[in-house]
Every structure is written in C-alpha cells, then in structure tokens.
Structure 1
Amino acid sequence: MKLPIFVRELFKNERETLEAGLRSSDAFVLRRCQILLASSKGERPPRISENLGCASQTVRNAIHEFDECGLDALTPGSSRPKEVHASFDETGAEALRELLRRSPREFGKQTSLWTLEYAAEVSFEEGLTERRVSGETIRATLARLGVRWKRAKRWIESPDPEYARKKGLSSG
C-alpha cells in the first residue's frame, strides 16, 4: 500500500498567501488553498476530497504541483497541449482541396455529395493524414484555405437556353 501524500512543510510567507487565498473570488485559487492548507494540517487526500467535494486525484494533483512549483500552483494553467500540430500541412491541405473537387463516388461512396465525415474518411484512406481525423478538422483545414463549408443543395437547372437571362444570372 502506498503511503499517503502530504504537502511539504510550508514557509511562513506561503502559509500567509494560502490563508489570504481563502478569501479569493477565484474558485480555482480558493480550492487550491483549501486543499494545501488541509494537507499541511495532516489531512489525507481522500478525506480532503470528501470534505471539499472534489476528486481525490484533484487533491493529489494540487499537492504535487505545489511541491514542484510552489505558489505558482495557484495560477491556473491551460489544459491545452503546448504545441498543436496541424493534421494537414500546406501541401496536404491543397491535396484535400483537390480531392473535394472529385466525386465521392470515385472513392466508393454511395453519394455524389461530400460531407465532412466522408471527406475525413477518404482523406485517411488516400493517405492525406496519418490517422483518422474528425469532420471538424476537415472544416478547420478548409477554413485555413479560405474555403467555407456549406451544406450542399441539390438543384435543377432548366433546359431553357434563356434560363440564365430570365433569372438574371450572369453567364460568366
């Protein structure tokens, strides 16, 4: 069985900062201060989590971060990755644009209209991406290229040679 973890011994200025944090309007700072002060009094993480209504892993994370970073642990960090790698580089994005100019039927799909999901599926099958991507990734990649994705509409054109003139459509 693992030994319970506790926060390291607090310096006087750290204890004062944590006690001042109990009056913070920021919920993150308040929760962290409550966790760290309770741990400094010898309470174990499961008991702290029970008293504060949070997960015991949250308590352990707060204690570990305080032990590593000190008072910087009171500053909320981002949960986003530090680096985000695009699924499509510039050449891949252009290849996606060219792929979408072809019919989905050429790739074995039973429709003549592209959906974001079909585009994601085919881009993986054709080797444009190393792993499967979401429809949102396809939409974001197209947006980077300046292409707006809209739902395709089926429409019928009249066989009348004067159709464009009558409807006021330009011919070129």
Structure 2
Amino acid sequence: MAERVRVRELDDDEGRRLLRIIRRGTGSVVTWRRAQMVLLSAQGMPVVKIAEVTFTSADRVRDVIHNFNTDGFESLYPKYKGGRPKTFTLPERREIKKIAKSKPAEHNLPFSTWSLVKLADFLVAEGVVDDISHQGLRILLREEGVSFQRVKTWKTSRDPDYSVNRKRVERVMRAAGIVGVHLRRKVRTTTPEPSATPVPDLLQRDFTAATPNTRYVGDITYLPVGDGQFLYLATVLDLCSKRLVGWSIAAHLRTELVTDALKAAAAIRGGRLDGAVFPSDNGAQYVARDFAQVCEERGVVRSRGAVGTSADNAAAESFNASLKRETLQGRRSWSGAGEARHAVFRWVTRYNTRRRHSSIGQISPIAYE
C-alpha cells in the first residue's frame, strides 16, 4: 500500500502565516492556491480530496506538499525554482503563447503590457494551467519564441480609478447592443423535511455583517451538464466581505454536499467558525442530523428561514444566480462535468480575488479582508 502523502507537522507560527496568506490574498494567485493545498493537508484532508476541491491533479498536490516539506514557505512562491519541473501539454503551450502575445486589454484587464507576475496569475486564474512558476513561464516563452519585450514589467498603477460615469457606460452599451445575459429554467434543489427540528431565524432578512467571519449564508444550486444531467454546488458566503469561503461540487444531493462546503470554509478560517451564524433554507440537507453535528463541532450557530420562501435566503440565491448567469452566458448547459467544474473554479477565483463590490468600497473580497 502506498505511503500517504501529508504535509509535515506545522508549528503555531507557520499555521498563522499560512492563514495570513490565504485570508489576505494580496499576493500571487499561485501562492494562494499552494498555501490552500498545504493548509488542507495539515488539517488532515487526503490528497485526492484536496485535488478535487482545488480543481487540480493529485500529482500536483503531492508535488506542492513535497516541495513545502523540503523547502518550506519558499516553495509557495512563483519564483521557487526547486522541485520537479512542471511539464505542459501542447494545447496548454499554445494557449499560453497565444495569451502572452495578446494585449491585456483584450481580456478586460486594466494595464497595457504583461509582466511575468501578471501573466502567471492570469493563466492560473483563467484555468489555462493549474500552476506555473515564473522560471517555468520564462523558459516556456523562450522556447515558444515569444519576445520578452512583450512581457516587460508593468509599472503603472495596478488599480486605476476610472473617470467614466455610469450614464456614459449605459449609453455605450446601448449603442453596441450589449445586454446582460439571463438565466433559463430552474430546477428544484430544496426539498423540505417535514420532521425537521425547528431552528430560529436569526437574520430576519438582514444580510449585513460588521466584520468578516460572523455571518454567512449558504445554498445549493444545480449545474446543468447536458442530457438532463446535473452537478450540484453548495456554497458558504461571508456576508461582510462577500467572499466565497467554502464550496463543494458533487453529482448527488446527499448531506455531505453541504457538510463538505462548511468544512472547507472552516478550514480557510483556521478550523473553527466559533459564533458565526449560518442561515439556510429548509432543505433536507440542511436539517439533517449530520449537518447539525458538523455545525456544532465547528462552533456554527444555525439559523433557518420560513418554509416556502426564497426571500429568507436571498443573498445566497442572488450569488448562485450571478455565478450561473456569468458562466453559462445564455447556454442551456455545459458540455460535461469537467467543463462545469472548471468554469466554476475559474469564476470563483476571479470573484474572490478581482471582482469589485460596491458594498465594500469597490474592492475585491480578499482585498477587503
């Protein structure tokens, strides 16, 4: 039987440093993803499960853990040159070359030229590759004949202020015939459980929070993957920072779908969610004994709205609607489960690290935290 791969024992300072990297998310997307893998391993999650929740391969997770055990925090950063060199498939190399030769403006990015840092982060965030170091990217570009002058350092403001007002944007959109995409038919994912033990509604439709890690919302939504088949996505959203802290995707609607999402959120928050309120609908998954036990183990205070109304969980419903509207973009379904998982991970990464929210001062959720 193969030996189980797991990160070495961490001391308190190392654990806090990992949490700072994940919570702040101010550095590279590559660093953020590697730190997540190490932290999940330290919390006892097996390699196969880590690969599933981070949307990468088990071999890649093993490499990250091995490199961390050997070289520590240095291995989390894109400049790390140790470990086994990562290889790329021919389609990956072609896509990297294509993006490197394009202009950032073509991807709606607010800067004029690529740097190695920006290009590496973009490739990971867009799901072109699951991981890439600066040295590996430099070598690949050289092998593909991409001029390094095109990938020069960008030294202007990374987060410029835009002077264009809302009315001008609306006028230009009307002239160009641009409109938002709309969702199609709905699939029922909430099945009430008549024997559920009553839980009070602690939010009363007040979807605000003064500080992060105090109030969350969660829900289940369907992901159509063709031929009448579905995957199901469970979410855990912080009401203060708007960050999607935990999520889980599966081909079933068993209780473990929502418990896995809550466990993932707790792992990001250091293993506990003491005192945090988590409202949900009255679906069988959220009223199950196993879900109540996970909440108790991690210090979560349960809350539940009325039966038969989505308004009591409107924040979670709105988040799920945005995710599907912007990932499907008018399509009826994805071509398969792999494409759906990939699209969700790419969207969530951009949502947490780049998407601005007016309620938190036009910055991203991770920047706010």
Q: Same fold (TM over 0.5)?
A: no
**Greater fraction of residues in strand:** 2
TM-score, normalising length from structure 2? 0.21
Larger Rg: 1
**Greater fraction of residues in helix:** 1
TM-score, normalising length from structure 1? 0.44
